[in-house]
Structure 1
Amino acid sequence: MSTHHTSSDITTTNPAGTPERFNDPGIPEHRSRMADRDPKAAKRAERQVVVLFVISILGTIGMLVAYFAIQPDGTTAGTRNSNLALGLGLFLSLMGIGLAAVHWAKTLMSDHERSEERHDQRSPDEVRVAAVTALKDGAEDSGIARRGVLKGAVVTALGLFPLTIAVPLIGSVGNDWDVSKFRHTMWKKGTRLATDPAGRPIKASDVTIGSVVHVVPDAPEEERRTHHWITEKAKSVVLIVRLDPADLKEAEDRKDWSYNGIVAYSKICTHVGCPVALYEQQTHHLLCPCHQSTFDVADGAKVVFGPAKRPLPQLPITVDDEGYLIAQDDFNEPVGPSYWERLK
């Protein structure tokens, strides 16, 4: 159904194509608010808005204090506490501004509905002057000019909030930006493969054809509790699969990277870094649940579907004298998605 507006009526076209005309109902009758009728209510609403802006100010100050006073100390608990303090301060800063703006608009600013007839995009000069006048009248109607405390609160809150972004950004300039760290993981020659999260070293005989095991570098329990090991683990998680050796399609330079059909690949998707963990035994396909990138484990973990552009990096493995699976070396390329200065 099409509708055509005029200044006094509305014309519609019904399904039969016959025009129908009825009177424009106009703008509904305005309902005044408590703050419009009672000066005390208006003053109370103003104080509430000021309090919300003050909460924002305190949140910004708290976030800046937390940034300098609660520094991560290298432990998981220290990092958690620092992030919690920063997040809480930023939350209060943003929440205060948002709630104050909404409450101000709903209780103090003009809520009269107005309508104007459509006209050319470029209005006549006298109309433009009238529009500027209307904007000034609107500012006057909002009460910002005569509410000094409210004006001070909003200016302070909006002026301080950018510091929550600028200070951490400036503070990060001196941080360690050595991207070569992305090229290496905890895997090295002789490191045993251990189940995740139990940390139990795994033997080749424990892995049956068709089974999938999530593994990490073997380390003492005390080390696995450290913040450094936990953060490095994020790059080092590996998924091992055992196939029938006859099903493997291995490049000539990688024929010794597997052991009796057992292959090991990075668990980090090369698209955006999600964990690749869904294995389809019949097709030998690994699926990333985030964006459905699919890799063929039997053929070098090459991409067979989805947005990923590179195969999963392979970890060369073998066994030690006791039959435990061990790494021959680190990955031959960086794991995960692309980043600056990556050569391949």
Structure 2
Amino acid sequence: MSTRESAPGSTGGADVPGPLHGGPDDDYTPEQLATMTREELDLLGARYDGVQVLHVDPGPEPGSAVEKQAVRQVALTFALAGLTAFAAFVIYVGSGWFLPDWQWDITDSGWSALFTPLIGALGGLALTLVGVGLVLYTKKLLPHETAVQDKHDGSHFDRVTTGATLVGGLHNSGLARRKLITRSLVFMGSGIGLMLLMPLGGLIRNPNTGDPLGTTSWAEGVRLVRDDGSPIRPGDQQPGSLETVFPAVPGGNRQSDAATMLIRLRPEQLSVDRPRTGQEDFGYGDYVAYSKICTHAGCPVSLYEQETSRILCPCHQSQFDVTQGSKPVFGPATRPLPQLPITVDDEGFFVARSDYIEAVGPTYWNRERI
């Protein structure tokens, strides 16, 4: 078996057709490898790796019209990705997570109603444009070759030659001279980076500030109104009837946690009424008000059987007895429906005396408000 000359400064026979013999670390010392150029190391590593190049397409001629057009297409795609990512971030900032003093006005229509869809659409479009830009860059600007390679165990020789191959790939990419693409990549990376930071908004601004999960729009003096906004007086309902009411605040009848059942008890119910301890004065005369949100899974409860004094939840069949402080008497619910303390104002209309004293909704919020 013969070996090729491996003198310092030589290519070790890499430029000669035919297989190379011997182990790489035996043939080349680190000093010899250090004397070779990147191109020589790339070629040498390929030869030792058993790479057979079947076809090479060098890509567009540098400075040609074809290259300039491809560069503009790729740069425009990356710039659009950056713009959509920045737009998603600006919309998210408007939610108040990063800048609490700058917030959208929440309405039933308009841009604020599209808050979540806009973030999702812009974020998805930004990532899609990143992929499109990378595909365009790969197909239109990078050299293409078809090669077959045999794998083998790594060594110092492999590390050095592989490093040369990677550096060669960066050199062949042309990024160093295609400044327009480089700038668009920096712009895109900034936008995408900010967009990916948006989920951390909850760590920057505490979402529990003000106890939003334990409070509603009900407060002292807030009137109880029907869905059409009309206030209610004692005597407007028949004994044994139930009416869904809302706080007389903007959007009150659209707030999922504010819906309340105003129930007028019948005389026989009133005689056996046993309010919960500490809530004996929460009702007004023969009227009581309870949250419409089931304490099991959050379904709306409003099926009222006045003969049995029970409120039924249609989702999982929990039942609450209004003569026992809405205590659960059947089904999976384990916590009573929160009761709203009510009274009447100077004009004789029902108003709340305060907010609920406990969190409304499912039992995983089972805690007393402090």
Give the structure-1-normalised TM-score: 0.55
Q: 2:245 aligns with which of 200, 215, 219?
A: 215
Q: Which residue of 2 aligns with 1:158?
A: 189
Residues 280 and 252 of structure 1: CA distance in aligned 2, closer, same or farther (over 3 Å) = closer
Establish whether residue 236 from structure 1 lines up as the match of residue 258 from structure 2. Answer: yes
Q: Which residue of 1 aligns with 2:135?
A: 105
Partner of 1:55, secondary structure, is helix
Tell me if structure 2 keeps the 8 A contact 1:242–1:261.
Answer: yes
Establish whether residue 50 from structure 1 lines up as the match of residue 81 from structure 2. Answer: no
Please give the residue correspondences for 1:199-278 in structure 2 after superposition, counting only pairs within 5 Å.
199-207=230-238, 209=240, 211-217=241-247, 219=248, 224-225=249-250, 230=252, 235-241=257-263, 245-246=268-269, 250-251=274-275, 253=277, 254=279, 257-258=282-283, 262-270=287-295, 274=298, 276-277=300-301
Q: Which residue of 2 aligns with 1:19?
A: none
In structure 2, give the amino acid aligned to 1:100.
V
What's the CA shift string for 1:12-64, capped at 9, x where partnerless?
Answer: xxxxxxxxxxxxxxxxxxxxxxxx89998786565434223212323344566
Question: Bigger CA drift: 296-305 or 317-326?
Answer: 317-326
CA distance, structure 2, for counterparts of residue 213 and residue 49 of structure 1: 62
Residues 148 and 252 of structure 1: CA distance in aligned 2, closer, same or farther (over 3 Å) = closer
Please give the residue correspondences for 1:1-344 in structure 2 after superposition, counting only pairs within 5 Å.
47-62=72-87, 67=93, 72=102, 76=106, 88=118, 91-92=121-122, 94-102=124-132, 104-105=134-135, 108=138, 124-125=153-154, 129=158, 136=166, 143=173, 145=175, 148-164=179-195, 166=197, 169=201, 173=205, 177-179=209-211, 182-183=214-215, 185-188=217-220, 192-207=223-238, 209=240, 211-217=241-247, 219=248, 224-225=249-250, 230=252, 235-241=257-263, 245-246=268-269, 250-251=274-275, 253=277, 254=279, 257-258=282-283, 262-270=287-295, 274=298, 276-277=300-301, 279=303, 281=305, 284-287=311-314, 294-298=318-322, 300-302=326-328, 304-305=330-331, 310-317=335-342, 325-327=350-352, 329-336=354-361
Deviation at 1:213, TM superposition (A): 2.0
What's the CA shift string for 1:106-151, capped at 9, x where partnerless?
Answer: 773599999999x9xxx8436x959967994996699474655334
In structure 1, give the amino acid aligned to 2:311.
H
- Structure 1 unaligned spans of 5+: 1-35
CA distance, structure 2, for counterparts of residue 91 and residue 237 of structure 1: 32
Residues 113 and 102 of structure 1: CA distance in aligned 2, closer, same or farther (over 3 Å) = farther
Q: Which residue of 2 aligns with 1:32?
A: none
Partner of 1:236, secondary structure, is coil
Residues 251 and 339 of structure 1: CA distance in aligned 2, closer, same or farther (over 3 Å) = closer
- Structure 2 unaligned spans of 5+: 1-58
What's the CA shift string for 1:263-311, capped at 9, x where partnerless?
Answer: 4212345567x562453648631246xxx584525452538545x6643
Tell me if structure 2 keeps the 8 A contact 1:293–1:303.
Answer: no
Residues 93 and 329 of structure 1: CA distance in aligned 2, closer, same or farther (over 3 Å) = closer
CA distance, structure 2, for counterparts of residue 150 and residue 303 of structure 1: 68
Tell me the number of residue pairs that the alignment of Structure 1 and Structure 2 aligns.
Answer: 292
**Amino-acid identity (%):** 22
In structure 2, give the amino acid aligned to 1:161.
I
In structure 1, give the amino acid aligned to 2:261.
L
Partner of 2:131, secondary structure, is helix
Tell me if structure 2 keeps the 8 A contact 1:52–1:96.
Answer: no
CA distance, structure 2, for counterparts of residue 181 and residue 73 of structure 1: 20
Partner of 2:313, secondary structure, is strand
Deviation at 1:343, TM superposition (A): 5.3
Tell me if structure 2 keeps the 8 A contact 1:303–1:310.
Answer: no
Root mean square deviation, CA, Å: 5.9
Tell me if structure 2 keeps the 8 A contact 1:195–1:202.
Answer: no
- Structure 1 or 2, whichever has the larger Rg, is 2
In structure 2, give the amino acid aligned to 1:206.
Q
Deviation at 1:313, TM superposition (A): 0.9
Tell me if structure 2 keeps the 8 A contact 1:270–1:309.
Answer: yes
Residues 316 and 154 of structure 1: CA distance in aligned 2, closer, same or farther (over 3 Å) = same
